[in-house]
């Protein structure tokens, strides 16, 4: 049976333990090449296309649409036509899911907390002990550390990666004093200092990018490089309908309708992501915190600060990644950036490039980090 090649449930992110098969994109009997789209799989955050890790003849689809299976479970079997059905049946019957080992609840991710303004700032660490310059991931408005589900593992191969919950978000304190960019940046700086991070690559998504730019402006010695994904801070406007709807949404249908604006393909939204936002919105103090942050940073559809001049004057590497179908912050705001800024535009991607096109974004970020002197 050496000619039989298994295709198994992938592990997208350290905390992923299982996935749901949403659809098959290749039929039994089809010849597929390595990298071809073969299935859609739902993770706790988003539904992603799974690319075949090998080439061959797709002889058997083992899982059916809607089936839930652990990471490493058999999805399908590739084998030449001369391999008999009986041999394939025997292979499937004998297949054993490999033990991923005891990685703990978060699959090797450490959960930590820093003190800030009398409250706690929660953050995750992956790749602790790695020697490369660390990375700090900063989510956007209404997000949390789980927004980096598909990035933490890939980026922590050769360097520690820290993902922070900003004040008012995730597991961090819901008490915010001003709710402005200064307060959010101060939380990031405080976390870095308490974690012993002397210098890091900052990666910010949306509002988190504006926070990263402000940290760069206020404490340049802490920053090795900066990257903005669908960033705020480079233009004047933001989709106020999304911001106000996100703050107001409580019922599942309203949350789902609002979150659909985040991605180019609404089918990518997972049930778990919708339910997670619902749970977050029910926490005491969340609505007040989000309202205060929106009022100070994204008032009435405007961005409160621009960092274009900053990016044109710094000697730090800067990468900007933007989806061409972003409905929250118009990608036209990526035009006319300073010449030293590296810009990548992704087709058919919305406001969540690190989830919608995780593999491409992870690759570009890794190259960006390695190129930093």
3-state secondary structure 8-40: ECCCCCCCCCEEEEEEECCCCCCEECCCCEEEE
pTM, two decimal places: 0.81
- Over residues 58-88, the pLDDT tens digits come to 999 999 998 988 888 999 999 999 999 999 9
Query: Could you state, in chain order, the average pLDDT of each consecutive group of 10 residues for the chain (373 residues)?
Result: 84 76 93 91 81 92 90 92 92 79 52 94 91 95 93 91 97 96 98 96 98 98 97 97 96 93 90 87 94 97 96 94 98 95 97 94 96 78
DSSP 219: -
Reduce the DSSP state of residue 131 to 3 states and report it.
Answer: coil
Q: What is the pLDDT of residue 15?
A: 64
Q: Does domain 5-94 have CATH number 3.40.50.1820?
A: no
Q: What is the pLDDT of residue 101?
A: 45
All CATH 2.40.50.100 domain ranges in the chain, comma separated: 5-94
- Report the candidate in 228, 176, 173, 239 with the shortest Cα–Cα distance to residue 201: 228
Beta bridge partners of 119: 116
Residue at token pair 């997670």: 276
And the tokens for 230? 């669908």
CATH superfamily of 110-371: Alpha/Beta hydrolase fold, catalytic domain (3.40.50.1820)
All CATH 3.40.50.1820 domain ranges in the chain, comma separated: 110-371
Beta bridge partners of 48: 41
- Report the C-alpha gap between 73 and 11 in whole angstroms: 10
Residue at token pair 């050496």: 2
Beta bridge partners of 69: 19
């Amino acid at each position: 049976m050496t000619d039989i090649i298994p295709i198994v449930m992938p592990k997208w992110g350290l905390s992923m333990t299982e996935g749901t098969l949403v659809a098959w994109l290749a039929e039994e009997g089809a010849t597929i090449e390595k990298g071809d789209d073969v299935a859609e799989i739902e993770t706790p955050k988003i539904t992603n296309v799974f690319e075949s890790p090998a080439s061959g003849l797709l002889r058997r689809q083992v899982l059916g649409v809607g089936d839930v299976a652990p990471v490493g479970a058999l999805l399908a079997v590739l084998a030449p036509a001369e391999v008999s059905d009986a041999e394939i049946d025997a292979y499937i019957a004998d297949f054993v899911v490999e033990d991923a080992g005891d990685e703990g609840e978060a699959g090797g991710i450490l959960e930590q907390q820093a003190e800030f303004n009398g409250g706690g700032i929660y953050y995750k660490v992956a790749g602790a002990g790695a020697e490369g310059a660390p990375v700090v991931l900063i989510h956007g408005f209404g997000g949390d550390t789980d927004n980096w589900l598909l990035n933490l593992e890939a980026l922590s191969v050769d360097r520690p990666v820290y993902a922070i919950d900003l004040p008012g978000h995730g597991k961090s304190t819901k008490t915010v004093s001003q709710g402005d960019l200064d307060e959010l940046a101060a939380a990031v700086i405080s976390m870095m200092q308490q974690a012993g991070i002397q210098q890091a690559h900052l990666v910010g998504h949306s509002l988190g990018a504006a926070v990263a730019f402000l940290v760069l402006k206020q404490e340049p010695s802490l920053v090795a490089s900066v990257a903005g994904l669908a960033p705020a801070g480079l233009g004047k406007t933001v989709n106020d309908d999304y911001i106000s709807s996100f703050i107001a949404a409580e019922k599942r249908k309203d949350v789902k309708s609002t979150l659909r604006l985040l991605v180019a393909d609404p089918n990518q939204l997972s049930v778990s992501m919708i339910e997670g936002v619902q749970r977050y919105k029910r926490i005491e103090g969340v609505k007040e915190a989000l309202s205060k942050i929106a009022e100070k940073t994204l008032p009435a559809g405007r961005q409160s600060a621009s960092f274009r001049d900053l990016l044109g004057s710094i000697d730090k590497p800067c990468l900007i990644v933007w989806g061409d179908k972003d409905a929250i912050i118009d990608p036209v705001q990526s035009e006319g950036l300073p010449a030293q800024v590296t810009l990548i535009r992704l087709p058919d991607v919305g406001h969540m490039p690190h989830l919608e096109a995780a593999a491409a974004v992870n690759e570009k970020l890794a190259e960006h980090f390695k190129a930093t002197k």
